[in-house]
Homo-oligomer: A and B are copies of this chain.
Amino acid sequence: MVDHQYAFKQFTDYLRSEGKSITPERLDILDLVLHEKGHFRIEDVIRKNERVSRATVYRTLKTIEDAGLIKYIRTIHDEKIFEVVKEHHDHMICEVCGKIIEFHDPELESLQNDICASRGFSPTRHTMKIFGICPACQKRRSQENTPA
């Protein structure tokens, strides 16, 4: 999904450009994060790392975020959920099962830019979350409401 080689270069370049050290802890966390599929929580990273301390996990996730390699969203329950930054996309979040569906729509993006332009606002990034019910949960519900 994401070129690890390239991500490591991005990260080390970022560290150097900021005068930060390249430490095994930082590289380990990045490696772990790159191997996560989809969305993950901080506690996942803490647990999967016997080696690196909790404090450093927090510090390093922040650093990786600052480097632009990961970002986070908030679920309906306000939980922080991280993900590796790929192409830009937005999210649909199921209020029943919590499933997160990613989508991207160029028309939507350009419309947003138009809206900003019309107000003299210079956008750098955005987040959009649509809450609702995913197809699977809709099906499950309609079945429950139609007993045999």
Write the residues of chain A forming the contact surface with B, with a CB cutoff of 8 angstroms: 74, 92, 95, 101, 103, 105, 107-108, 111-112, 115-116, 119-135, 138
CB distance from A120 to the nearest CB of B (A): 4
Knowing A126-B130, A128-B127, A130-B126, say if A108 contacts B119 (CB, 8 Å): no
This protein's copies in its complex: 2
Question: Could you say which residues of chain B place their CB within 8 Å of the CB of A111?
Answer: 105, 107-108, 111
Question: Could you say which residues of chain B place their CB within 8 Å of the CB of A107?
Answer: 111
- In the A-B complex, the 3 residue pairs with the smallest Cβ-Cβ separation, listed nearest first, are A128-B128, A123-B132, A120-B135
A108 touches B101 (CB 8 A): no
Question: Could you say which residues of chain B place their CB within 8 Å of the CB of A92?
Answer: 116, 119, 121, 123
